[in-house]
Chain A
């Protein structure tokens, strides 16, 4: 049924299952990482109102589509979790893969954005091989933040894939909930990035 868990793993002095507790700590540490990046961006931005001009070059419809895609993917992961509760492993497996599909769409949209935004930015800021203009820092933060986020989307999708195979074998079904917690976190980060980088002009 469950794989080789230590006694330590099975004990429960706080009443919260160990895996869930562990996942909340993971989320907490990630919050601080993204928090640091976002706060640095905010402080820089508040000191440089000219950045609004740069933000005009982000593609809002693409960002909005991605927001919708991620929110939908979070919904799918909730459905998968519910299906586990109802003992419907096949449904859970299906919906986990719908989530991964959404992640795929998100990444495709992102690649389109990166290639177009990069050329726009290069056009604006690079002449004869060096930087001109003084506000490319917005772009540094944009690529760093969305890039780090995309990396977490990829990692999350891989983790969900791994969990889905366990579901199919009927093992470690509790991991669907934990993967779901992580995925919701990835979604929430995007909910912060979207207004900060796309909408605030």
Chain B
């Protein structure tokens, strides 16, 4: 039933509302997700600013907020984490890049279920409203940490945020539903709607990775949705699933949460590292090293991610014998990830590397993520985790993984696809200033948190003055806060760059980076239907760069087949 002609669409004039607000077009929906995610990043980043100011200058009024009380502090750290993961990383990486890249890279007009796509965004938007509303209800926003462990999270007499706790759970649950719906589109479109001639190994890595991420999400979130329903019932005092006084068990929530929580980090890692897999071959002019190994490591990581979850719970009261199993599986999962990093580094070998802004971000991802990955070993190893659990060592570790995922890879993708999405080029100089202004403060501030963790500084504490062993490190806390402020300040360079480039940036050609994948064959600012001149057919893989014997150092996937001019060249 494959068909290469445009589907029957009623070509009526669309109003502003149906074209931009209630759109079913994947490009618009992708932009909606991305803009919403960036907006939520402002909120999450603001929260980080406020609580870091409290940590650096305890008790003093924070400009733009006021004095931070203990309940407010907990609310800020809780919602900073929750928002950054569920309302920034996921929408931008999975739904933003997913919606933009997948139909274009597969050479098709849209997703397979555009109305479901629109519905998924609408539910996501409602979830944003719910989580923001949780800040303004009587009692204030939920402050039980993004992990929401009961009994604290299940009982307002403990957490003191009667409506905040409920709205938090409802917001998160709605976000889960939105992404379950979105995932159906990504997986089904990739399976069925590929361009003619595009076999499984011709699919660009970022598309594969978003699909695998969607599958991981779908399989892992189910038990937590059940758990969230159970938590909500507890919060409304109907049940006592997690209440020992009513026969329940607080640890049940932890298992349900982390069974999802661990695969979730790979749900956001895979699209991010997939974006880098697209950028590095383009700017090194080199074929991606061992495509099949890259795929295999992603699948292996995804599969293993289901059997490591209790490394978040080593000292939580689980049977200590079980901890041994999880430390082994956790150390095992470092292997495919390490392999993936080796492969990306190997792709650089023999390349001709051009340091445009997207490439800087992609390379920085590898350098910074290495720190995150390696420091994870201290936490996955039970013996050292006894000491490091719930310290700033953990905070530093996960920011060295999450910031590359949610910030570095996102900027890599945005700067890379900006010409296609907008028809303009971003300014390179401003791009580089933004890059260094982000990377340097980020690296310093989180590197400093490792020694704080080694000193035993525990998490989610509003001020360390009363702890005699920790109070002396106040200077480091101040430096960290200044680094954060610097990092936030440099983000204005990015937004300035975007606005100025949109208004008067250099007009972009169709394929400014001379890349192979199909999205570069569509016109800039892809119109509804994506390929007005006919849908491409694919004749080769996505990474045929610098093929020997050819004049051009790139070979678009849909370029016609050619006879090899020298015996050594190979088509795939």
What is A's interface to B at a CB cutoff of 8 Å? 4-14, 16-18, 21-22, 25-26, 28-37, 39-40, 44, 48, 131, 134-137, 139-141, 143-144, 148
Query: Which chain B residues numbered 198 to 255 have a C-beta less than 8 Å away from chain A?
Result: 198, 218-227, 229-230, 233, 238-241, 245-249, 252
CA distance A5 to B115 in the complex (A): 10
Please, which residue of chain A has its CB at the minimum distance from the CB of B108? Answer: A8
The contact of B223 among A9, A14, A35, A143, by CB within 8 Å, is A35
CA distance A104 to B1 in the complex (A): 39
Chain B residues contacting A143 (CB-CB under 8 Å) are 233, 238-239
Decide: A6 and B249 in contact? CB cutoff 8 A. no
Please, which residue of chain B has its CB at the minimum distance from the CB of A35? Answer: B222
Asked whether B6 is an interface residue with its Cβ less than 8 Å from the other chain, the reply is yes
**Would A6 and B114 be within 8 Å (CB), given that A11-B108, A13-B2 are in contact?**
yes
Decide: B246 and A18 in contact? CB cutoff 8 A. no
**Would A144 and B218 be within 8 Å (CB), given that A6-B110, A14-B191, A18-B188 are in contact?**
no
Q: Could you name 7 residue pairs across A and B whose Cβ atoms are closer than 8 Å? A: A7-B109, A8-B108, A8-B112, A11-B193, A25-B188, A36-B259, A144-B241
Chain B residues contacting A131 (CB-CB under 8 Å) are 240, 245-246
**Would A25 and B2 be within 8 Å (CB), given that A36-B227, A136-B247 are in contact?**
no
What distance in Å separates the Cβ of B119 from its nearest Cβ neighbour in chain A? 13
What distance in Å separates the Cβ of B104 from its nearest Cβ neighbour in chain A? 11
Known A6-B114, A36-B224, A140-B230; further 15 A-B contacts with Cβ < 8 A: A9-B7, A10-B2, A10-B3, A11-B3, A11-B108, A18-B188, A22-B113, A25-B218, A29-B218, A32-B221, A40-B226, A40-B230, A48-B247, A140-B239, A144-B226
Please, which residue of chain B has its CB at the minimum distance from the CB of A40? Answer: B252
What distance in Å separates the Cβ of B152 from its nearest Cβ neighbour in chain A? 19
Please, which residue of chain B has its CB at the minimum distance from the CB of A48? Answer: B247
Asked whether B423 is an interface residue with its Cβ less than 8 Å from the other chain, the reply is no
Decide: A136 and B194 in contact? CB cutoff 8 A. no
Decide: B248 and A140 in contact? CB cutoff 8 A. yes
The contact of A4 among B8, B192, B193, B238, by CB within 8 Å, is B8
Asked whether B157 is an interface residue with its Cβ less than 8 Å from the other chain, the reply is no
**Would A34 and B226 be within 8 Å (CB), given that A11-B108, A137-B247 are in contact?**
yes
What is B's interface to A at a CB cutoff of 8 Å? 1-10, 103, 106, 108-114, 116, 180, 183-184, 187-189, 191-194, 198, 218-227, 229-230, 233, 238-241, 245-249, 252, 256, 259, 529, 535
Chain B residues contacting A144 (CB-CB under 8 Å) are 226, 229-230, 233, 239, 241
The contact of A21 among B106, B188, B259, by CB within 8 Å, is B188
Chain B residues contacting A140 (CB-CB under 8 Å) are 230, 233, 239-241, 248
What distance in Å separates the Cβ of B526 from its nearest Cβ neighbour in chain A? 14
**Looking at chain A's contact residues, is the secondary structure mostly helix, strand, loop, or mixed?**
helix
CA distance A13 to B116 in the complex (A): 21
Decide: A11 and B1 in contact? CB cutoff 8 A. yes
Decide: B222 and A29 in contact? CB cutoff 8 A. yes
Decide: A16 and B192 in contact? CB cutoff 8 A. yes
**A-B pairs, 8 with minimum CB distance:** A36-B223, A32-B222, A37-B226, A140-B239, A8-B193, A33-B222, A36-B226, A6-B110
Decide: A4 and B10 in contact? CB cutoff 8 A. yes
CA distance A141 to B180 in the complex (A): 24
Chain B residues contacting A44 (CB-CB under 8 Å) are 249, 252
CA distance A140 to B247 in the complex (A): 10
Decide: A33 and B108 in contact? CB cutoff 8 A. no
Please, which residue of chain A has its CB at the minimum distance from the CB of B259? Answer: A36
Decide: B535 and A32 in contact? CB cutoff 8 A. no
What distance in Å separates the Cβ of A31 from its nearest Cβ neighbour in chain B? 7
Decide: B180 and A29 in contact? CB cutoff 8 A. yes
Decide: B247 and A6 in contact? CB cutoff 8 A. no
Interface centre among B8, B198, B226, B227 (most CB of A within 10 A): B226
Interface centre among A8, A18, A39, A144 (most CB of B within 10 A): A8
Decide: A12 and B192 in contact? CB cutoff 8 A. yes
What distance in Å separates the Cβ of B191 from its nearest Cβ neighbour in chain A? 5
The contact of B112 among A18, A29, A39, A137, by CB within 8 Å, is A18
What distance in Å separates the Cβ of A17 from its nearest Cβ neighbour in chain B? 8
CA distance A4 to B529 in the complex (A): 13
Chain A residues contacting B241 (CB-CB under 8 Å) are 137, 140-141, 144
Interface centre among B187, B188, B246 (most CB of A within 10 A): B188
Chain A residues contacting B184 (CB-CB under 8 Å) are 22, 25-26, 29
Chain A residues contacting B238 (CB-CB under 8 Å) are 143
Decide: B111 and A8 in contact? CB cutoff 8 A. yes
CA distance A136 to B244 in the complex (A): 11
Decide: A7 and B229 in contact? CB cutoff 8 A. no
CA distance A102 to B229 in the complex (A): 27
Please, which residue of chain B has its CB at the minimum distance from the CB of A137? Answer: B247
Interface centre among A25, A44, A134 (most CB of B within 10 A): A25
Decide: A8 and B248 in contact? CB cutoff 8 A. no
**Would A135 and B3 be within 8 Å (CB), given that A22-B112, A25-B183 are in contact?**
no
The contact of B7 among A5, A28, A40, by CB within 8 Å, is A5
Chain B residues contacting A4 (CB-CB under 8 Å) are 7-10
Please, which residue of chain B has its CB at the minimum distance from the CB of A148? Answer: B229
Chain A residues contacting B249 (CB-CB under 8 Å) are 44
What distance in Å separates the Cβ of A73 from its nearest Cβ neighbour in chain B? 24
CA distance A139 to B7 in the complex (A): 52
CA distance A8 to B2 in the complex (A): 9
What distance in Å separates the Cβ of B224 from its nearest Cβ neighbour in chain A? 7
Chain A residues contacting B183 (CB-CB under 8 Å) are 25, 29
What distance in Å separates the Cβ of A45 from its nearest Cβ neighbour in chain B? 12
What distance in Å separates the Cβ of A48 from its nearest Cβ neighbour in chain B? 8
**Would A10 and B233 be within 8 Å (CB), given that A35-B223, A143-B239 are in contact?**
no
What distance in Å separates the Cβ of A121 from its nearest Cβ neighbour in chain B? 12
CA distance A18 to B116 in the complex (A): 13
Decide: B225 and A33 in contact? CB cutoff 8 A. yes
Decide: B109 and A12 in contact? CB cutoff 8 A. no
